Amino acid sequence: STSPDVKRCARGSPVTQLLLPALMVLRESPFPNRLLSGLYSLGQYLLFPSYWAADCLLDLRETTAERQQRRCCRCCPLRALVTGPLLLLLLILSMPSALLGLLLWLPMQAARRPFAYKHNMLSRHPEVWELPGTGKVFSFVSANVCLLPNGLAKFSNLGHMKQRAARIGQCLTQGEASASFYGATMASPPRPEKAGPGEISVPFPPDVDFVCLQEVFDQRAGAHLCQLLSPFYEHIVYDVGTYGLQGCSLKVLNSGLFLASRYPVLAAQYRCYPKCSGEDALSAKGLLSVQVQLGAAHGQRIVGYLNCTHLHAPAADAQIRCDQLTQGLFWAQLFQDTHTQRGDVIAFDVFCGDFNFDNCSSGDELEQTHEIFRHYQDPCRVGPRQDRPWAIGTSPLLLPCHLAPRPTLLMAPRAPRRTLEQEEGRRTYLAGPILQDGRPDPSAAGSPWEGRRIDYILYREHPAPISLTTEVEKFSFITQLAGCSDHMAVGLRLLLNAAPQWQQQV
């Protein structure tokens, strides 16, 4: 049936009718009907006892903070001795139901669209742009949040997934309130020797338009984040990825990608990288591409494109990362060619995520010269092995194993910000350059020390007959997730203006 909003738009002006597709959003359920959705849920319920028992067994591993707390309390390590055998027994007893659930769950993957979509009632419709005129600003955030099941997160020295998901959602939705409360002191003061758009910031920027997350692997965490962010972001794409047998590998985790947008999503597509190895083969890492409608001007749609990804992790597999980047670059262009209509104005084209390589390590030389940097611009980069003076590393951000003697830093994001402004602090808490096998590079002990920057937000301008010019207004390294993740979030603000050829035509 046609909604009242759509009927009113259909009777409106030509410009209003141009914005009509924004109301015709994607289907929310990843399944075409309730029967298939119900069978899929039944399979998950049958699998859950085994999944829960296995996760709890892995969760018996202590993080450094938990070990430190146990020593302070002088507690005996009886938890593993008592609960371990019980959990193992539960895992064995639940195997028959898990096998039945697997037989039901696997075939359902063929009918499942590889993402779920949440859409709230629109409170802000795409607007009519007055061009030429004042510039439009759009802000983006990308963050690896390490929301694995508790047992797997322990291998990154993080636990308490449910509490961290709640904290991350709170940080993402209280940027405006935090900014107004703390004021200008929350952003690092401009350093004369490092002038530029970069800053080290504690809170997330206010009024972020697009949030792109990686490692939201746990479905419960993804659903919780979706619930927390939905009052602020009307369009959310989550639970992204394919499960089950994909080629020669079994995908037990999704891609971990998660995207929230304040603007209507016109199209979305996910593709799984065919090349993978080791433990990374268990997750469906890939590329999520989204087209959003921003408005209209002079009878033309104004759209934006976002591409979010998470590349292969093991340091020694540089060729796999390069192949994934090449594949992702091709898929991003194919998605745009498929969904761009004649006359569309592309306001922005962003490619972001956790690339798992940096621009300072000799071991990442192959990735540093990849062709993606000829198509997209990295605001933090001058060229291979050379970053802007204000750029700093993003991984690992104050790992708990380093902070055990000073646990107060985990609870005070302002302290990491002050620490990272100094080279001594960056040298202490940020991972340094590595060799090809992943070992620290001893030849990189000199100054300056910025750390490994493996989280990226790239952008490009489209040389269309009518286009917009792009200017980087600000690039932020955000410390607010200290203690919630082993990465630092990054933010980008782009200022868009009408290109000279548009102004001439007008």
Q: Dump pLDDT digits (tens) for 412-439.
A: 465 567 777 777 777 777 888 888 877 8
Clarify whether residues 244 and 309 are in a common domain: yes
Mean pLDDT of 313-330: 94
Cα–Cα distance measured from residue 257 to residue 288, given in angstroms and rounded to the nearest whole number: 7
- Provide the pLDDT confidence category of residue 180 given band limits of 50, 70 and 90: very low
Clarify whether residues 276 and 381 are in a common domain: yes
Clarify whether residues 488 and 501 are in a common domain: yes
Q: Which of the listed residues 81, 108, 135 is the one where a domain comes to its end?
A: 108
Cα–Cα distance measured from residue 334 to residue 6, given in angstroms and rounded to the nearest whole number: 30
Mean predicted lDDT score pLDDT of the chain: 81
Q: Show the tokens assigned to 363.
A: 């071991």
Clarify whether residues 188 and 80 are in a common domain: no
Cα–Cα distance measured from residue 476 to residue 427, given in angstroms and rounded to the nearest whole number: 19
Mean pLDDT of 474-484: 89
pLDDT of residue 17: 52
Q: Dump pLDDT digits (tens) for 354-386.
A: 999 999 888 899 999 999 999 999 999 999 988
| Active site residue ranges | 487
Cα–Cα distance measured from residue 339 to residue 267, given in angstroms and rounded to the nearest whole number: 8
Burial class (CB in 10 A: 0-12, 13-18, 19+), 70: middle
Clarify whether residues 59 and 178 are in a common domain: no
pLDDT of residue 368: 94
Q: Which of the listed residues 92, 108, 124 is the one where a domain comes to its end?
A: 108
The SS3 of residue 269 is strand
Cα–Cα distance measured from residue 208 to residue 126, given in angstroms and rounded to the nearest whole number: 16
pLDDT of residue 188: 39
pLDDT of residue 25: 59
Clarify whether residues 10 and 71 are in a common domain: no
Clarify whether residues 63 and 121 are in a common domain: no
Q: Which residues pair with 249 in a beta bridge?
A: 246
Of 69-78, 311-320, 434-443, where does the model show the most confidence? 311-320
Q: Which residues does 408 contact at the CB level (< 8 Å), separation at least 6? A: 415
Number of domains present in the structure of the chain: 2
Cα–Cα distance measured from residue 176 to residue 505, given in angstroms and rounded to the nearest whole number: 38
Confidence check: pLDDT of 185 > 90: no
Q: Which of the listed residues 84, 108, 132 is the one where a domain comes to its end?
A: 108
Clarify whether residues 75 and 152 are in a common domain: no
Specify whether the CB–CB gap between 263 and 275 falls below 8 A.
no
Confidence check: pLDDT of 173 > 80: yes
Clarify whether residues 427 and 300 are in a common domain: yes
Clarify whether residues 205 and 90 are in a common domain: no
What is the share, in percent, of the chain residues with pLDDT greater than 90? 43
Among 67-81, 222-236, 245-259, 464-478, which stretch is predicted with the lowest mean pLDDT?
67-81
Residue 259: which region, alpha, beta or left (left: phi > 0; alpha: psi -120 to 50)?
Answer: beta
Clarify whether residues 181 and 299 are in a common domain: yes
Confidence check: pLDDT of 291 > 50: yes
Clarify whether residues 61 and 136 are in a common domain: no
Secondary-structure percent of the chain, ordered helix, strand, coil, rounded to 5: 40, 25, 40
Q: Dump pLDDT digits (tens) for 387-403.
A: 999 999 887 644 444 44
pLDDT of residue 450: 79
- Provide the pLDDT confidence category of residue 93 given band limits of 50, 70 and 90: very high
Confidence check: pLDDT of 308 > 60: yes
For residue 491, give the CATH number of its domain: 3.60.10.10
What domain range is 217 assigned to?
Answer: 4-30+113-432+440-505
> If residue 349 lies in a helix (H) or strand (E), which one and from where to where?
strand 345-354
Among 72-81, 108-117, 464-473, 487-496, which stretch is predicted with the lowest mean pLDDT?
72-81
